[in-house]
Chains A and B, each alone.
Chain A
Amino acid sequence: MSDWAWRILWMAILGGGLVGMAGLLLVIGAGSVRELRLTLEELRHGTGDDDAGDEAGAGDEIRPSE
């Protein structure tokens, strides 16, 4: 692999890191605050720790619109 190919690869990786962090803040930021509220509610009512299978319900899918 030539130096030129390495340089392309590293630029792509660096770009991916920058875009990834920005995207993560946008997608995860707001949704995670809502999920924190749900978690605290469940802890308050003692409804956590219920290995109820894989269909965990609301909050499991990531949707940017949320």
Chain B
Amino acid sequence: MGLFHTEFGTVDWIIVAVYLAGSIGIGVWANRYVGGLSDYLVAGRTLRIRLALATMTGTELGLVTVMYVAQLGYTKQFASLYLAVIEVFGLAVIGVTGLVVYRLRQEAVLTVPEYYQRRYTQRVRVVGAVMMVLAGVLNMGVFLKAGSLFLVGVTGLQDPLALKLIMSGLLLMVLFYTVLGGMVSVVITDLIQFLVLGVGSLIVSYYVLSELGGIGGLWELSASTYVNPLLIDNPVTEAKADGVGPWMLTAQWLTLSIAVMLWPATVSRTLAVKTPTVARRLYLFSTIPFLARRTLPALWGIGAFAFFALHTDLGSEFQQSIDSKQLSTLSAMPLYLAKIIPSGLLGLVTAAMLAAFMSTHDSYLLCWSGVVAQDIVAPLCGGLSDRHRVLVTRISIVVIGAFLLFWGLWYEVGQELWDYLAITGTVYLSGALPVIVGGLYWRRASSAGALAALVCGVMGVCGLTQVIDAINSVFFPDPEGFQVFPALMMLLTMVTPTLVFIPVSLLFPDRRRQDQSPDTEPVS
């Protein structure tokens, strides 16, 4: 059995093709329900709790999530589960208290930047929207590559051209139904994708657990792997600073706690629910799917680690491929699944993962494009009709899709995928935190403070490996002395906008509240 051996056969291709065709058909059919802008962007705010929860799970349990959580499971085994604890705790706190999300939903806005205008000024809205789209599209830029690595591993398809064509085709399909049906088609397809994904993930987990020898086998495995995330050195690899450690744990705690509250794709679902109470409940109930998304793929990654450790020939072949940069640890999980799941079921699992791929792409595309139309183009043009806003949203979906294709094909992720996502996410999150929370809870929060905080968010790109290497080579060239590292940059980026926001707001207060000003682009 070679490294690229797979059980994926003709029947699996048929299952995948039927599923994809069905998704497109439903997306097109949903177009009949789109009556206006509110229908297109937030499905007329008609979502109730179960449907919102199902679609939120479909969105947040994307293929990219599966890939990066499994990668962390492979590289850091059980210790990687600390992210699940942070995320679930953050959601539970919001769900119980309604912190931020309740008041945000009460504002009855379509997008987060729209709130910026309601609370501050139109300029804050436009700057906030630009930062949000920049962070979101950069963040989303690696989704396509993660998806393609999954397909390579599972199907054994190694022809780079065929692979690029398949991934481009998938992206085009998502673009097609999202452009046509907006949030209505996103909700319907996300629901189906949630059901397929839920069943698929349980099937995979069953096979992984069986392979590991059941719960007893998993318990025994935990004795010889990395379990304590407070240790900065991973005892399995014995490499220096290869683990999590207190710095990274703090940075991730801060980033993830803010992300669960303010990440635009999540907030867009909050804004689409029927009432503020449903928004709060949505967070409380979301602890379950978010726990699942952080644990099940980690289990598969841990399974892959055990598999390659046990099958030493395959393990060394895989390690050689990593050393020669042909593969990365991202491929461990799909290569593993291709060998343990029988044909037929593997097609269903692949369909489930492609469902995960599409359900994330459609929501994210709609979210960022909605922001472009609502919060950048419309204010700058002095207002647009609903028909034109839908048109601009549709054009933006296509433009962002083209960028994703371009970025996904050439950008090489220099660090673990999750670290890249967290770092690009901070570009938006670090600025949004003081601007939204300050706006909702602090009367003296001002537009000048908000603008300064949002612009400071650009510092987030300093966390990318390429930028850190450049900073170290210029300012800290001695590898034995002090050097900047990703966790430190993440913390600095997260904290700086808030530290800037408070004094600037106090020094430059607003003359009057924006919601009293009649001379700007109307909200909603």
Q: Which residues from 23 to 56 on chain A have a C-beta closer than 8 Å to any C-beta of chain B?
A: 23-25, 27-29, 31-33, 35-36, 38-40, 42-44, 46-56
4 additional contacts (CB under 8 A) given A10-B222, A48-B44: A6-B227, A24-B288, A32-B54, A39-B47
Known: A44-B33, A56-B277. Contact between A38 and B291, CB under 8 A?
A: no
A46 closest partner in B (C-beta): B35
Chain B residues closer than 8 Å to A61, beta-carbon distance: 49
Q: Shortest Cβ distance from A63 into chain B, in angstroms? A: 10
Q: Shortest Cβ distance from B425 into chain A, in angstroms? A: 22
Q: Shortest Cβ distance from B370 into chain A, in angstroms? A: 15
What are 28 contact pairs spanning A and B, CB under 8 A?
A1-B230, A7-B222, A13-B291, A14-B299, A17-B84, A18-B202, A18-B296, A21-B289, A21-B292, A24-B288, A32-B53, A35-B47, A35-B49, A38-B46, A39-B44, A40-B33, A40-B184, A43-B184, A46-B44, A48-B39, A51-B108, A53-B275, A54-B277, A56-B277, A60-B49, A60-B275, A61-B49, A62-B285
Interface size on A, residues (CB 8 A): 48
Q: Shortest Cβ distance from B181 into chain A, in angstroms? A: 11
Residue B81 interfacial (CB < 8 Å): yes
Task: Please tell me if the beta carbons of A3 and B227 are within 8 angstroms of each other in the complex.
Answer: yes
User: Measured between alpha carbons, how far is A56 from B215 in the docked complex, in Å?
Assistant: 43
Residue B45 interfacial (CB < 8 Å): yes
Segment at the interface with A among B191-199, B246-254, B379-387, B478-486: B191-199
Residue B6 interfacial (CB < 8 Å): no
Task: Please tell me if the beta carbons of A36 and B295 are within 8 angstroms of each other in the complex.
Answer: no
Task: Please tell me if the beta carbons of A62 and B49 are within 8 angstroms of each other in the complex.
Answer: yes
Chain B residues closer than 8 Å to A50, beta-carbon distance: 45
User: Measured between alpha carbons, how far is A11 from B51 in the docked complex, in Å?
Assistant: 30
Of B44, B215, B230, B281, most A-chain CB atoms within 10 Å: B44
A-B contact count (CB 8 A): 163
B84 closest partner in A (C-beta): A13
Interface size on B, residues (CB 8 A): 59
Residue B201 interfacial (CB < 8 Å): yes
Task: Please tell me if the beta carbons of A49 and B44 are within 8 angstroms of each other in the complex.
Answer: yes
Known: A20-B292, A24-B57. Contact between A13 and B85, CB under 8 A?
A: yes
Of A36, A46, A58, most B-chain CB atoms within 10 Å: A36
Q: Give A residues with C-beta under 8 Å from B.
A: 1, 3, 6-7, 9-11, 13-14, 16-18, 20-25, 27-29, 31-33, 35-36, 38-40, 42-44, 46-56, 58-62
- CB contact between A21 and one of B48, B201, B275, B298 (< 8 Å): that residue: B201
Q: Shortest Cβ distance from B304 into chain A, in angstroms? A: 15
Residue B462 interfacial (CB < 8 Å): no
- CB contact between A14 and one of B35, B54, B218, B228 (< 8 Å): that residue: B218
